[in-house]
Structure 1
Amino acid sequence: MEPESGLAEAERVELTVDAVAPGGHCVARVDGQVVFVRHALPGERVIAEVTEVHKGFVRADAVTVLDASPDRVEPPCPYAKPGACGGCDLQHVAPAAQLAWKTAVVREQLTRLGGLTDAELDGLGVRVEALPGGLLGWRSRVRYAVDAADRAGLLKHRSHEVVPIDSCLIAHPAIQELPVLAPTGASWPAADAVETVASTGGDVTVVEVRDGISMQVSGPAVVREVAADRAWTLPASAFWQVHPAAADTLSTAVLELLDPRPGEVAWDLYGGAGLFAAGLAAKVGASGRVTVVEAAPQGVSAARRNLADLPRVEVVSARVETALARRRITGPVDVVVLDPPRAGAGAPVVRALAAAGPRAIAYVACDPAAFARDVRTFAGLGWRLTALRGFDLFPMTQHVELVGLLVPGP
């Protein structure tokens, strides 16, 4: 079905690009029709090819740049272009402009979905900070899909089509050296996917996934990570931050914002392997108490193993909403770390936390939209966002990580 503008899939149209939008797009308009354009920059005049048609909007790729932005650079990866790999959204954007892009998206989401004003955001000093290590060679966990010719590669944007590649430039150097990809890499006739890990502890692992079952190809099944002044061990397929500096960066930010005090009670919700719980335990001391809530079995076992030396830490195996609703954990509680999945915490969890009465909540968010919706729910319950830090944990991509501080009262 074609929208009112008459634009159809595969049609090419000249347009001028407007502001950035979530999802690695910029916004443009053709005869009043909204067009979300990838591979473009604000202010550019481009020829765009329509890739999807929806009621009310279309998606398109900028295939020819007629007037380039001064922030445009040549993508270092030959696969970062229309019709090729969809893993990187911003390789055509200069480093400083990538941070500005992500900052603009965060501000837009918090005003449109979170109900905050520009003045409030100015007061928070919203900005996205770079991590050490540069824009390439940072990704310590890469999952490759396998195509019909048994070659490992990455997916096109919004597609299940596999793009065979010979190298992924954002992958950790140790992953780039693995014989996984064409033309010199292994063939994967029985695999659905190939998972690779290069841990901060120096382990390098390859796992083949067949019909949902993981099979070790090389390297240790349990890898070591180093973060927050501790050594961690966890299964290679368990969740851990993919940027080598991310775990330390987030742990430091959470502890700085929450300022846990000796003797306090703390919750680490969606706690994973227990990264934040370890930092909380060190701050609240022997007279305090920390409870971790995690649902994934691998995360629960990893947290119990890695936090076993901390006697005042309890790990609860449950979904967070279930633990709160069924009183598996109950107040009083002083400080909370809330690190939900991409969909956010959701209104039931937010209401339960507000009712528990902590003095502060550090919210770690990997999706600005979900974070903004939860901030709005907290605001309706009398809570305020008093600090916000953004981190570029995923250079070259649209993704950004946020750590916000929420407190009750006016």
Structure 2
Amino acid sequence: MTESPTLTVRLGKIAHGGHTVARHEGRVIFVRHGIPGELVNVRLTDSAPEAKFWRADVTEVLEASEHRVPHFWDAADALKHRDPVGGAEFGHMRLEYQRELKSQVAAEQLTRLGGLKAEDYNFPAVQGVKGSADGLGWRTRMSYSVDAQGNLAMSAFRSNELISISQMPLAHPAIEATGLYSVDYSGIERVEAAVSSQDDRTVLILLAEARDGAAAKVAKQFPEGVNVASFSQHGGSAADGKGSLQTLAGSAHLIEKVLGEKFRITGEGFWQVHREAASLLSSRVIELTEPAAGEQIADLYAGAGLFSVPLAKAVGTGGRVFSIEGAPGTHADAKKNLRDYSQATVIRGRVERVLRQVAHDATLDAVVLDPPRTGLEKQVAAELASSGVSRICYVSCDPAAFARDTARLMGRGYELDHLEIHDLYPHTHHMESIGLFVRR
């Protein structure tokens, strides 16, 4: 194995994706595990001569930033491991400084991709959320791979090589307490773990089988009280409707409670990851959207109905809420969660097609949307503009996608009236934005 080249560089500004920017002989290098201003030795991980830029990992800190702290998770520490696992790439920085860097990234994306001018907008700082002061134990949803020895594993950044792990400090304590790291997962392709953010006693382990019958043997290794289910179709998921769940112990779904309402979430069905996210986002979306009695509102990429339920309550029986979701399994949860609201219509299908039909049949007063990380498709933005809806509340987990879509919406007659950003992913480069767009 050829040893990767090493360089000594001074790290520059933060960039989207968890990197700092360095330069060497005119070449741009995106460096992980560093802090702006540090002098470091780096190992080049991608240095093809024809590449527009190179990639590297910090291996040694020669001049440390005042914001550097010991990494809280050994497996993710680049100073200790050649290939640290992903999922905690900001764990070597003070939590407050992480948010400063995220604020810089958001502003840069809104300027460069969104076309906004700093002098015209007061870009918001990233806000912390309530919870543990150290930013640990917030993940209520975890996804693991399984290595050849049957151990839970994760991979390094941009790598397919699996690294076995014995803990994950960002995971909710109730998940860690199940003893899942001591289980032999032979015959299992991946493992999903989830805990109800309202009931720490309710944990669900979902096993995706690589070999028929393996899940039943694995389930017996968990202590009593842990819910275990299997998904037998290789390569699919319970949420996408291409297979079916089998309950092995307890139940195959969790019950979440948000703002006094209960939500059923089956298997891998989508739910917000941070233990405080569902309540925070739901309350902020309703406050910003200001749904009124009798209004007609579409909730796009609605998932299990997190926003659809409070919207339906707000518009009352004289209004209508169209809850639109593409994934069959999650759509089924939404139907259950909204069954008591006659004013709610739950529709499964591609968002741009369903939106076009809904906008043709109804005069929409507002739209709420929480798309995947990739953001809106061009056609969805076009359909929103064609609908003439006066206000759009947009929830996004990716600042680049949000900035690009801001430009698309503003180019179609909308203004960004309000923006706030929340640190729902401590110790990672991710952030959650909520924007309110109003029609000019």
TM-score by length of 1: 0.93
CA deviation map 1:145-167 (0-9, x unaligned):
01112111211111121111111
Give the letter for the 1:105 counterpart: V
Q: Name the residue aligned to 2:213.
A: none
Partners of 1:218 and 1:90 lie apart in 2 by 37
CA distance in 2 between partners of 1:264 and 1:325 (Å): 18
| Alignment pair present for 1:175 and 2:175 | yes
Q: Matched residue of 1:79: which SS?
A: helix
Determine the structure 2 residue equivalent to 1:3.
none
Query: Which range is displaced more, 164-173 or 228-237?
Result: 228-237
Q: Does 1:335 align with 2:366?
A: yes
> What residue in structure 2 maps to residue 75 of structure 1?
71
| Counterpart amino acid of residue 408 in structure 2 | T
In structure 1, how many angstroms separate the alpha carbons of the residues matched to 2:250 and 2:166? 21
Q: Does 1:402 align with 2:398?
A: no
What is the aligned length? 397
Q: How far apart are the structure 1 equivalents of 2:259 and 2:275? A: 12
Q: State the secondary structure of the residue aligned to 2:67.
A: coil
1:33 to 20, 24, 27: 27
Deviation per residue, 1:27-58 (Å, 9 max, x gap) = 11111111101110011111111111251101
Q: Is the 8 A contact 2:22 2:30 kept in 1?
A: yes
1:39-188 maps to which residues of 2 (within 5 A)?
39-54=33-48, 55-82=51-78, 83-122=83-122, 125-134=123-132, 135-181=135-181, 185-188=182-185
Higher mean C-alpha displacement, 194-203 vs 385-394: 194-203
In the TM superposition, what are the counterparts of 1:211-222 in structure 2 within 5 Å?
Answer: 211-212=234-235, 216=247, 218-222=249-253
Which residue does 2:218 correspond to in 1? none
Percent sequence identity is 39
**1:109/1:368 contact within 8 Å kept:** yes
Alpha-carbon distance in 2 for matches of 1:75, 1:328: 50
Give me the whole-angstrom Cα distance separating, in 2, the residues matched to 1:34 and 1:217: 52
Distance (Å, rounded) in 1 between the aligned partners of 2:266 and 2:147: 26
Change (3 A) 1:236 1:259: same
Task: Measure, in 1, the Cα distance between the counterparts of 2:3 and 2:111.
Answer: 32
Secondary structure, counterpart of 2:75 in structure 1? coil
Output the CA distance in 2 between the equivalents of 1:81 and 1:195.
24
Distance 1:9 1:372, change over 3 A: farther
Cα distance in 1 for partners of 2:58, 2:177 equals: 32
Select which of 370, 373, 390 maps to 1:359: 390
Listed one character per residue, the Cα deviations across residues 341-399 of structure 1 (whole Å, up to 9, x for unaligned) are: 11111221111111111121000111111111111111111211111011111111111
1:259 to 290, 294, 298: 290
- CA distance in 1 between counterparts of 2:206 and 2:370 reads 27
Q: Which residue of 1 aligns with 2:214?
A: none
Taking a change above 3 Å as real, the CA distance of residues 397 and 338 of structure 1, as seen in their structure-2 partners, is same
Cα distance in 1 for partners of 2:429, 2:170 equals 14
State how far apart, in whole Å, the 1-side matches of 2:321 and 2:267 are: 26
What CA deviation, in whole Å up to 9, does each residue of 1:285-314 have, x standing for no partner? Answer: 222111111111111111110111111011
Change (3 A) 1:151 1:133: same
How many angstroms does 1:404 deviate by? Answer: 0.2
What value does the CA root-mean-square deviation take over the aligned residues? 1.6
Kept after mapping to 2: 8 A contact 1:48/1:61? yes
Kindly provide the CA deviation profile for residues 259-291 of structure 1, in whole angstroms up to 9, marking residues without a partner as x: 111211111001011111111122222221111
Q: What is the SS of the residue equivalent to 2:47?
A: strand
Q: SS at 2:44's partner residue? A: strand
Q: Which residue of 2 aligns with 1:5?
A: none
Q: Distance in 2 between matches of 1:23 and 1:80?
A: 16
Cα distance in 1, alignment partners of residues 427 and 272 from structure 2: 16
Deviation at 1:9, TM superposition (A): 7.5
Which residue does 2:220 correspond to in 1? none
Amino acid paired to 1:277? S
> Which sections of structure 1, spanning at least 5 residues, go unmatched?
1-7
Residue 102 of structure 1 aligns to a residue in which SS? helix
1:118-177 deviations in Å (ceiling 9; x for gaps): 12332xx41211111121011111111011121112111111211111110000001111
Residue-by-residue CA offset, 1:201-245 (whole Å, 9 max, x unaligned): 421111111223665554420111111221111213111011110
What corresponds to 1:316 in structure 2?
Answer: 347
Equivalent residue, structure 2, for 1:227: 258
Unaligned runs of 5+ in 2: 210-233, 237-244
Which range moved further: 72-81 or 204-213? 204-213
Query: Equivalents in 1 of 2:246, 2:105: separation in Å?
Result: 39
Distance 1:369 1:265 in 2: 30
